[in-house]
Amino acid sequence: MRTTVGIIGAGPAGLLLARLLRNAGIDSVVLESRDRGYVEQRQRAGILEQGTADVLRAAGAGERLDREGLRHDGIELRYDRKRHRVDFPALTGGRSVTVYAQTEVCKDLIALQLKEGGPLLFEAEALAVEGADTDHPRVRFRHDGREDVLDCGYVVGCDGFWGVSRTAIPAELTRVFERVYPFGWLGVLADVPPSHDELVYARHDRGFALLSMRSPAVSRLYLQVPEGTDAEAWSDEEIWAELERRFETDDDWTLERGPITQKSVTPMRSYVHEPMRHGRLFLAGDAAHIVPPTGAKGLNLAVGDVVTFARALVHERETGSAELLDAYSQTCLRRVWQAERFSYDMTTLLHRLPGASPFEERLQLARLERIASSRAAETDLAEGYTGFPFG
């Protein structure tokens, strides 16, 4: 097989890139190791920044997003039994976010790719990226029980941390920056309408909690738990009781309960791989960087990466200049590090750190009071949450 751009991974980044390239008249082939059902069902992020939603609409994938997505114009911070709402449009010149699950983004993009795009091969496991530093890279993969080769002009690795793309960059050329947090998130899906119409981020002496949603009828809720916690060790009653404690306020707000349909624990880490490019191999999304979910940045960073690549490739086609392709890693990393900073700030602002001193806990409260009382501090949070500009 031969194509201009070989894309490894049919998550939202790989699928969106294929769509952007198709709209620009550039051919591609997408290789995905899992089957279609798995890709369309794996639970991941659910918050789309303003820029991400705009890109999906411009790519022709906005119809269901606009019909079913939930626009949110703010979030609520809770601490010391207090409530403070951060008004995004008022602080950012009209920007907002949209609640629309990654599973739904993937369904929309898969349907478009199969209808209008180039080859999308499920259960096609990428085995290796070869010749990345030549003009003719190739991807060895296994599909339908036999090995094959995809010859490419470029390879974009959207295959996550455990994929083959990242390891195709020689170790002596790379630098890795990482932080692993000593806690995780116990996340549950519950068949009950959300108890608040916007996300609630709660800092409590017992630990962090988040109230989110997947739809007007389904709540998504999270509790900070120690690293290595087994989700099944928590009964439904214990989860609801702990959520109620951490969301408690001085007014009459109540948390509505319902049947819990899913439990899982998400580890928390920050990770950046530099560079994000080696020859004609370009990394995107989790293959290059991971953020803790506190800032809702993972999916949105991946979108920024593939938008940057698509623009750079179109620029080369139109002008003959590889300037933007050569700057890909530097351009993406500027945005990546701002998102890493924001996610780290949100994580350390809201979570109870094991062994934290009373002094450190008071500093957390002082930071929250600063956001609640200073328009400048509140604006910084709102700008980060609604999204940094694509390079």
Catalytic residues: 72, 201, 293, 297, 385
Buried b (16+ CB within 10 A) or exposed e, 88-99: beebbeebbbbb
Q: Which two tokens stand for residue 193?
A: 């309408």
CA 112/CA 116 separation, integer angstroms: 6
CA 152/CA 371 separation, integer angstroms: 49
Residue 206, Cβ neighbours under 10 Å: how many?
12
Q: Which residues, including other chains, have CB under 8 Å from residue 151's CB and lie 6 or more apart?
A: 1, 2, 3, 136, 138
CA 234/CA 260 separation, integer angstroms: 12
CA 37/CA 42 separation, integer angstroms: 9
SS3 267: strand
CA 206/CA 217 separation, integer angstroms: 28
Q: Which two tokens stand for residue 128?
A: 């290796």
